[in-house]
Amino acid sequence: MSTLEEHVDVGVPIDRAWDSLHRVENYPRFLAGVREARTEAGGRAHLDVEAGGRAREVEAEVSDRAGERVLEWRTTGAPELAGSFSLQPIDDSHTRVQARLTYDPGTVRETFGGPRGFAQANAIERLVRSDLEQFKEYVEQGR
């Protein structure tokens, strides 16, 4: 398994960033490849994803530790992915959003296609970085 961690600082209070992360239906606005997303019963989320020219449905279990401002998720089937978003206040109007993704490079390549080895790691890193920048824009513009 590989683990990737990235962060971005956003110009909004922690409560606003936290609320935005919980609006699953808005994930297509800042997560590349997510075409549709919805919350389902029992702390689950359903995402329609397109990546590498392939469409997939992904189910995930989502839980949060609100007191710690950590939202954790893991897929319930293939591909096996897990991750978290943790929020830390910088000051009253700025928040650091830390994303962590745990994945098996071979499984991701088989599921979504794409390059091997180091090139794939770089592609995933760029994707997560881009998603965080899109989240920053989304939350700061209050969309």
- 87-129 pLDDT, tens digit per residue, is 999 999 999 999 999 887 776 666 666 655 444 556 778 888 9
Residue 143, token pair as written in the block: 């969309």
Q: Taking the model in full, what pTM does it have?
A: 0.86
Q: Give the helix/strand (H/E) hosting 112.
A: helix 105-112
Residue 12, token pair as written in the block: 């909004």
CATH number of 2-22+60-141: 3.30.530.20
Separation in Å, CA 49 to CA 28, 35, 44, 60, 124: 9, 6, 16, 12, 15
For all residues of the chain together, what is the average pLDDT?
A: 87
- Residue 105 has a pLDDT of 73
